[in-house]
């Protein structure tokens, strides 16, 4: 049905496609580690004030200091790159769990050793833009230039260009710029489904791998959850429900993590318990987002899918 309304409120509706994940897996599980620390707002980076979001002092949004450094907020972010990253790295590499990093370009440039460890672990590093800021309202030419810097930052620190994109706080232009750039297999600036889908808004079919802000440790910073057990409870419930539904129509699940949040000692146990829970199910495809994208492109090309 032709329409000049650009949103898709219908999606797959009551008849989602059979994902046919490799090996007959029931559920595709993507763990995502947001690597952001060192790319956030601070006057040190030329920003007007200090960071407002996802510091370890709830609620999620705090008043910025304008024109001044917020040393406490800065240090909460530094915990992520100094300690939290390595704690999560130890947990996942010891269990050989594949992971996709959403890497903020400036943050990777400030910690080359972490970027090297991501590459050595075989993790995928997708781009999380050049800065961890709100891109809404940024002039198009400036955002386009930042996208190139973001790509180059991953290439120079990790060793290969990113094929996935997640901005987070997007502008009106972000998705079109991703499509025009041409080198991305997918973007994840959507929370609209439990399966990948094709977007046709910008000329050619463009693959979307929806992400999740509810299966996400950012809830720790909103005071929405407090203990490791709360985190485990929530993402286990999501997993169990999707796993049950996947008996008929296989689904995809994303879990979002942050070095400075889940990387805290009182919280990482929730992730470990979740991995134990998943490991008790044999038919889960724990994988990289780029591999989910490649599967979808090969098996569900846009002429067959929606």
| Total residues interacting with Zn ion, rule: CB under 5 A | 2
User: How far is residue 296's CA from residue 305's CA, in Å, rounded to a whole number?
Assistant: 10
H/E stretch holding 158: helix 140-158
Minimum distance from residue 129 beta carbon to Zn ion (Å): 9
82 or 169, CB closer to Zn ion? 169
In Å, how far from its chain's centre is CA 253? 12
41 is a site residue for Zn ion (CB under 5 A): no
Q: Give 43-69 as a DSSP string.
A: GGGT-SB---BS-SSSSSB-PPPBTS-
3-state secondary structure of 253: strand
- Binding of Zn ion at residue 34 (CB under 5 A)? yes
Q: Scanning residues 160 to 189, which ones bind Zn ion (CB under 5 A)?
A: 168
Minimal distance, residue 142 CB to Zn ion, in Å? 20
Report, in Å, the least distance between residue 34 CB and Zn ion.
4
Which is nearer to Zn ion, 26 or 267 (by Cβ)? Answer: 267
Nearer to Zn ion, 19 or 178 (CB): 178
Kindly tell me which of 34 and 188 has the beta carbon lying closer to Zn ion: 34
Closest approach, Cβ 169 to Zn ion, in A, equals 9
The conformation of residue 293, written as its DSSP 8-state character, comes to H
- What span, in angstroms and rounded, lies between the C-alpha atoms of 116 and 159? 8
Between CA 64 and CA 226 the distance in angstroms is 24
Most distant CA pair in the chain, distance = 55
Residue among 39 and 64 whose Cβ is closer to Zn ion: 39
Query: Of all residues in this chain, which one has the CB nearest to Zn ion in the complex?
Result: 34
Binding site residues, Zn ion, CB under 5 A? 34, 168
């Amino acid at each position: 049905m032709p329409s000049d309304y650009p949103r898709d409120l219908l999606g797959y509706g009551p008849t989602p496609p059979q994902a046919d994940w490799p090996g007959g897996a029931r559920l595709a599980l993507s763990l995502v580690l947001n690597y952001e620390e060192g790319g956030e707002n601070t006057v040190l980076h030329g920003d007007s004030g200090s960071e407002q979001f996802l510091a370890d002092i709830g609620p999620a949004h705090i008043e910025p200091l304008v024109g001044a450094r917020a040393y406490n907020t800065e240090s909460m972010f530094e915990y992520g790159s100094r300690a939290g990253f390595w704690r999560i790295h130890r947990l996942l590499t010891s269990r050989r769990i594949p992971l996709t990093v959403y890497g903020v370009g400036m943050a990777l440039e400030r910690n080359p050793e972490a970027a090297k460890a991501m590459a050595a672990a075989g993790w995928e590093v997708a781009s999380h833009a050049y800065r961890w800021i709100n891109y809404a309202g940024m002039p198009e030419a400036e955002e386009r230039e930042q996208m190139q810097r973001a790509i180059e930052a991953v290439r120079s620190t990790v060793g290969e260009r990113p094929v996935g994109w997640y901005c987070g706080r997007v502008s009106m232009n972000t998705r079109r710029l991703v499509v025009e750039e041409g080198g991305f297999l997918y973007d994840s600036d959507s929370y609209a489904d439990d399966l990948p889908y094709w977007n046709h808004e910008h000329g050619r079919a463009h693959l979307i791998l929806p992400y999740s802000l509810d299966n996400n440790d950012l809830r720790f910073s909103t005071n929405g959850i407090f203990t490791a057990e709360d985190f485990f409870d929530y993402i286990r419930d999501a997993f169990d429900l999707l796993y049950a539904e996947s008996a008929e129509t296989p689904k995809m699940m994303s879990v979002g993590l942050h070095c400075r949040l889940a990387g805290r000692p009182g919280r990482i146990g929730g992730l470990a318990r979740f991995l134990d829970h998943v490991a008790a199910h044999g038919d889960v495809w724990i994988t990289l987002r780029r591999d989910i994208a490649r599967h979808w492109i090969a098996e569900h090309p846009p002429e067959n899918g929606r």
